[in-house]
Every structure is written in C-alpha cells, then in structure tokens.
C-alpha cells in the first residue's frame, strides 16, 4: 500500500497537476476542494490521465468537522496545502475575505493534523513574499516582507505560522515552496488553467486573446529597466512545478523542522518575450497594446534555484516553448 497524501485545493490549477504527478509517483491521492475556483470535472480528468480517479471531498478546509471526517476515513501520511484565494487584485478589494480564508484553512488544517498524528506538511507559498526587492535572482535566504497586497501578506503570515508550529513541535516537518510564475498545462490538454472571469495572469490572457475571446492583451508598462522595457518574470511549466511538490513531500517524510525552497527555472522572460514565443510556437497572432504600469509590479523577478536542485534533487526541465504550446493546446480544447 502506497502513502496517502491529502491535497487541499487539489482541483485547482496547480493542485490538479500535482495530483497527476503524485498518482504517477505511486501516492494515493485524496482531494479536498470547495470548488470556489475549480470544477468537479477536473477530478474525472485526473482519472482520465492517470487511470486512477482520486478520492474527492467537496468541502471548505477551514470547516473543522469536514476535515475531521477526511482524517477519520483515511490514514493521511502527508498534506500539500494549496487551498486559498489567490487573485492579487481581488485581495486588495476584499482583504478580510483573503485573511479569513487563507489563514483559517491553514490553522484548521494544522490543528487537525496534530490531533491525528500527521506531521508532513508542504505549503504552496509564493515569490510575492519577497516584496518589492529588486535583488535578483531571489535566494531563499534573502529577507521577506514588504508585500504589496493582502494576498502576498497571507503567504508571508502563513509561512511564519508554519515556522512557529515547526519550532514548537519537533515531530512536524514543513516545506515552504515559493513559486514564481506557473504557466502551461498538462500535455494531454485535459487539465489547465481556467480562471473565473477576466484572467489575472498573463498566459491565460494571451491564450484567450489568441482564441478571440478577448480583443487584445494589455501590457502594463514598457518603461521598466529591462531589455525591452516590459516586466521580466520567471515562468515555470506547471508540470515541472508539480514534480517539485512530489520531491518536497519525499523530503518532508525524511526531515524535521522547516525548510524553504524556490520553485522556478532561474531564467527571466519579459512579457513581450512570452508573447513572441507564443506566436512563434503556435503560429497565431496575439494583438497587444501598451498600458500604464500597475501599482506593486516590480521590473525583474526570477529565482535562484540551486537549493532545490542540490537538496531536493529537482530541476525544471521544460522550456518556454513547451509552456506556450501546452497552454494553447489546453485553451483550444475548451
């Protein structure tokens, strides 16, 4: 019998891809998701890809009784915590909803794990915890804080909660994964990023413009100190990112305490680099206009990935061409 992992928010974009990679790595997967930003059909699609439909609970992870039921009915060996609101702009408009949801899900999860003797915890954090730092590449040792929005602050606060919990409980093993910019989709085209309403992220916006759903892309600012004036980011294929969670969970099972890793490629691409790569790979036009800068955007952001490579034995292997191809393949199937 393989180990059983609970994925909170496991029907979402990153969670669903991680479910696939976990199943393929031999884990039994249990998903808890309230479907506020995902769809029930994703669970069946994971089954279509892997030949194994994960066990699914539709529940709010902040709801203690629902979580209790999952831990009673399954011998959970480890948890990967994705559940949380994630739209930066919306977090500025609805800060209380973000603090309530993102902190409560984490606290309830930690309490329930403690009561059931579950010690391995992998957290879906974000490079937003580095705040407005322009000191690239970002290393795990550099200071965090100075976040520019409530979403980023929730990640920062949860990291602190997890550090404190690990310091107080010597049995607890916590891995904090700071993501850079996940894009792409599973090569099957069966799962991918499907935002509600207007996309917050660049790639789904590009794919929707390419498909004619939206008229044109707005490029926010072309006067940054970068090679073409547009913002530079570290885009990582979501399947590479998912593999990083498999490596992190294995690490958590063998180590105690709290450890943090960047998950990126270590390469920066500008907005226009990504638009151009998408055009070239997919032979489809993406009309765009230059718009004013957005508040809180930094010029350049990419990861130092040496720690993940040396400690976890993980390295991103898919290039920007594959990211663009797989994202378009998914969008066309919608």
Question: Catalytic site residues?
Answer: 151
Sheet containing 55-58: order of strands? 55-58, 28-33, 4-8, 78-81, 120-126, 173-179, 257-263
CA 61, distance to chain mean position in Å, is 17
Q: In sequence order, which residues have a C-beta less than 8 Å from that of residue 145 and are 6 or more positions away? A: 129, 131, 156
DSSP code for 317:
-
DSSP code for 28:
E
Task: Please count the residues of the chain.
Answer: 334
Distances (CA, A) of 95 to 83, 98, 100, 179, 298: 17, 5, 8, 22, 21
User: Residue 311, CB half-sphere, CA atoms under 13 Å: how many?
Assistant: 18
End-to-end CA distance of the chain: 36
Determine the longest span between alpha carbons in the chain, in angstroms: 56
Q: Is the peptide bond before 38 cis (omega within 30 degrees of 0)?
A: no
* Pairwise CA distance, residues 203 & 242, whole Å: 18
Q: Where are the alpha helices (DSSP H) in 63-198?
A: 64-73, 88-93, 95-115, 150-168
Q: In sequence order, which residues have a C-beta less than 8 Å from that of residue 93 and are 6 or more positions away? A: none
Q: 10 Å Cβ neighbour count for 258?
A: 19
């Amino acid at each position: 019998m393989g180990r059983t992992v609970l994925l909170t928010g496991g029907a979402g974009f990153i969670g669903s891809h991680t479910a696939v990679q976990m199943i393929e790595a031999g884990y039994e997967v249990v998903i808890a998701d309230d479907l506020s930003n995902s769809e029930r059909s994703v669970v069946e699609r994971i089954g279509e890809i892997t030949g194994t439909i994960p066990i699914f609970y539709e529940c709010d992870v902040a709801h203690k009784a629902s979580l209790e039921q999952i831990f009673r009915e399954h011998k959970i060996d480890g948890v990967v915590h994705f559940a949380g609101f994630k739209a930066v702009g919306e977090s500025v408009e609805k800060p209380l909803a973000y603090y309530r949801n993102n902190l409560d899900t984490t606290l309830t999860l930690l309490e329930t794990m403690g009561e059931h003797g579950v010690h391995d915890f992998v957290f879906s954090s974000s490079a937003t915890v580095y705040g407005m730092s322009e000191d690239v590449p970002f290393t795990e040792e550099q200071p965090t804080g100075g976040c520019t929005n409530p979403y980023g602050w929730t990640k920062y606060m949860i990291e602190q909660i997890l550090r404190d919990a690990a310091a107080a409980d010597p049995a607890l093993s916590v891995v904090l994964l700071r993501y850079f910019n996940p894009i792409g989709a599973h090569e099957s085209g069966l799962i991918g990023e499907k935002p509600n309403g207007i996309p917050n992220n660049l790639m789904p916006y590009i794919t929707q413009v390419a498909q004619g759903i939206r008229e044109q892309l707005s490029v926010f600012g072309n006067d940054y100190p970068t090679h073409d004036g547009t913002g530079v980011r570290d885009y990582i294929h979501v399947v590479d990112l998912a593999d990083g969670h498999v490596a992190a969970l294995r690490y958590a099972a063998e180590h105690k305490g709290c450890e943090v890793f960047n998950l990126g490629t270590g390469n920066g691409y500008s907005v226009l680099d990504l638009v151009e790569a998408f055009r070239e790979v997919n032979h489809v036009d993406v009309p765009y206009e230059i718009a004013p800068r957005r508040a809180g955007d930094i010029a350049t952001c990419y990861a130092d990935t040496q720690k993940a490579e040396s400690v976890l034995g993980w390295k991103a292997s898919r290039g920007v061409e594959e990211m663009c191809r797989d994202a378009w393949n998914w969008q066309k199937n919608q």
